[in-house]
Amino acid sequence: NAGVTQTPKFQVLKTGQSMTLQCAQDMNHEYMSWYRQDPGMGLRLIHYSVGAGITDQGEVPNGYNVSRSTTEDFPLRLLSAAPSQTSVYFCASSSVAYNSPLHFGNGTRLTVT
């Protein structure tokens, strides 16, 4: 009963490096999303997807790319990491049925130096 799985749990990057945060879900959820969690700012939506091949921007998309080639996977790419992207990142998924709750992964703690 895996639910939403995120890897890695921790990552340290140097400014300018690129990396991909992985997210997979095994609940056949159509909707997947990425949030960043910063002190005093709560959770802010980065990107989301309502199905394979469909993605859209959230509140804070700059500096991040996503793709959705399968229902199960929704990777988040940082093309050129900046210190401002130091944060905890959460992937979440849900059914698109009305009022369906979000299911969260365990998070990835990213530090950019």
Partner 1 sequence: AQRVTQPEKLLSVFKGAPVELKCNYSYSGSPELFWYVQYSRQRLQLLLRHISRESIKGFTADLNKGETSFHLKKPFAQEEDSAMYYCALVGVVGFNKFYFGSGTKLNVKP
What is the contact surface with partner 1 in residues (CB under 8 A)? Answer: 4, 31, 33, 35, 40-45, 48, 50, 58, 90, 92, 94-96, 98-102, 104-107
Query: What is the distance between the alpha carbons of residues 50 and 58, in angstroms, rounded to a whole number?
Result: 12
Query: What is the distance between the alpha carbons of residues 27 and 95, in angstroms, rounded to a whole number?
Result: 9
Count of CB atoms situated within 10 Å of the CB of 34? 27
87 vs 94 by CB, closer to partner 1? 94
Point out which residues pair with 4 in neighbouring strands. Answer: 25
Shortest separation between residue 104's beta carbon and partner 1, angstroms = 4
Shortest separation between residue 61's beta carbon and partner 1, angstroms = 13
62 vs 101 by CB, closer to partner 1? 101
